């Protein structure tokens, strides 16, 4: 398969959609998203599949975080005759080479592929644009290997025509793609996500559904992260708690200002009596003050007792001071006699 620098420059619009084209494709669903591999439906349901992305192994031999998958997903083809290697919202972790019908620069962006008879066929380039169509959550890869020409009964004819045009452009120094080559369809993959509420499942499971023409491939993904949730709080924005606090603060402010104006103008109150329901607030203050006093007195019982009065009531030699006083009085009476 020939590979020349000028191939991708001309073929990019037809083969690999740009992020702008992906965004425009998702526009009809009216789905908004601010982070890769996330989506918010029109009903407000938030989907976050970033936990299902396969990440490369951690450098330095460190163990990955719990729940993080470091090996690509695999899906059995069953009667198709080949198994599939995939990743979600990212390129496959295991590098692929010699991908049919793709320029060398695009090999690192392959997100799904299968191998048959020693040849590797791509099902699409990396994409992190999730689309919510009603109650369905969909992810699509496009720009894979050329689709086979089934009308000729030869599954490799499209790829051979693709390579033939490359060689012809190389020999004649002409544009790499003619009208025929620009019309070559490319393989794509569509993933439909299903919510899996099994508490024992922490990772996604991908199953191959089928392909009607060996050009468009359909997969089903069961994942606990495909369940609708609430969009997390964004830094710098007001969360639900902040909104409640603002509403409560405004209500209290209106209550205080309105009560003061009413008591001052209508009831002709002055001083603390201008406050709305000042008797209620005064009772609350009295209750709080009495409670603090009771609580303080209870806490003082647990403090070590001082020996003040007890020491004064006892003489230094250990005798009781009352006994000493009675003895002194007795001596005074005898002296008077």
For 235-248, write each residue's pLDDT tens digit. 655 667 778 888 98
Residue 1's pLDDT band (cuts 50, 70, 90): very low
pLDDT, position 218: 96
> Which residues lie closer than 8 Å to 255 by C-beta, 6 or more apart?
276
The residue ranking higher by pLDDT, 319 or 171, is: 319
Average pLDDT over residues 99-103: 93
Give the strand pairing for 130-133 and 188-195: unpaired
Written as one string, the DSSP assignment of 34-71 is SSTTEEE-TTS-EEE-GGGS--PPPGGGPPPPTT---S
Mean pLDDT computed over every residue of the chain: 76
Give the strand pairing for 216-223 and 188-195: parallel
Average pLDDT over residues 150-170: 51
Nearest residue to 160 via CA among 144, 174, 189, 181? 181
pLDDT of 6 > 60? The answer is no
Question: Are 115 and 72 spatial neighbours (Cβ–Cβ below 8 Å)?
Answer: no
Q: Give phi and psi for 221, each to the nearest 5.
A: -120, 120
Q: What percent of the chain has pLDDT over 70?
A: 68
The Cα 1–Cα 78 span in angstroms is 29
Domains and CATH numbers, the chain: 5-226 (2.70.130.10), 240-308 (no CATH)
Determine if the pTM surpasses 0.75. Answer: no
Residue 302's pLDDT band (cuts 50, 70, 90): confident
Residue 12's pLDDT band (cuts 50, 70, 90): very low
For 66-84, write each residue's pLDDT tens digit. 557 788 999 999 889 899 9
The Cα 123–Cα 317 span in angstroms is 104
For 206-238, write each residue's pLDDT tens digit. 999 999 999 999 999 999 989 988 766 566 556
pLDDT of 91 > 90? The answer is yes
The residue ranking higher by pLDDT, 189 or 258, is: 189
């Amino acid at each position: 398969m020939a590979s020349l620098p000028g191939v991708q420059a001309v073929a990019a619009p037809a083969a690999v959609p740009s992020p702008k084209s992906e965004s425009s494709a998702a526009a009809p669903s009216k789905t908004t998203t601010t982070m890769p591999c996330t989506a918010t439906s029109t009903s407000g349901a938030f989907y976050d599949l970033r936990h299902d992305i396969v990440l490369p192994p951690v450098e330095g031999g460190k163990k990955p975080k719990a729940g993080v998958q470091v090996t690509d997903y695999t899906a059995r083809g069953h009667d198709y005759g080949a198994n599939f290697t995939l990743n979600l919202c990212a390129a496959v972790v295991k590098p692929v080479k010699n991908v049919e019908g793709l320029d060398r620069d695009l090999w690192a962006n392959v997100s799904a592929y299968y191998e048959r008879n020693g040849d590797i066929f791509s099902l699409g380039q990396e994409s992190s644009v999730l689309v919510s169509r009603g109650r369905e959550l969909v992810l699509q890869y496009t720009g894979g290997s050329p689709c086979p020409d089934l009308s000729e009964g030869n599954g490799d004819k499209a790829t051979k025509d693709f390579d033939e045009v490359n060689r012809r452009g190389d020999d004649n120094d002409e544009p790499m793609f003619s009208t025929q080559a620009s019309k070559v369809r490319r393989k794509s993959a569509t993933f439909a996500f299903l919510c899996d509420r099994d508490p024992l499942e922490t990772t996604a499971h991908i199953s191959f559904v089928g392909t009607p023409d060996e050009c468009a491939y359909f997969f089903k993904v069961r994942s606990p992260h495909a369940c609708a949730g609430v969009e997390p709080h964004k830094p710098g924005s007001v969360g639900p708690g902040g909104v409640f606090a603002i509403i409560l603060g405004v209500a209290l402010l209106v209550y205080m200002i309105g009560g003061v104006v009413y008591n001052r103008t209508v009831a002709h109150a002055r001083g603390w009596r201008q406050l709305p329901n000042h008797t209620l607030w005064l009772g609350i203050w009295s209750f709080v003050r009495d409670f603090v006093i009771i609580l303080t007195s209870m806490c003082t019982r647990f403090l070590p007792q001082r020996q003040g009065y007890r020491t004064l009531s006892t003489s230094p030699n250990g005798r009781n001071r009352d006994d000493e006083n009675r003895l002194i009085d007795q001596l005074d009476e005898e002296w008077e006699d």
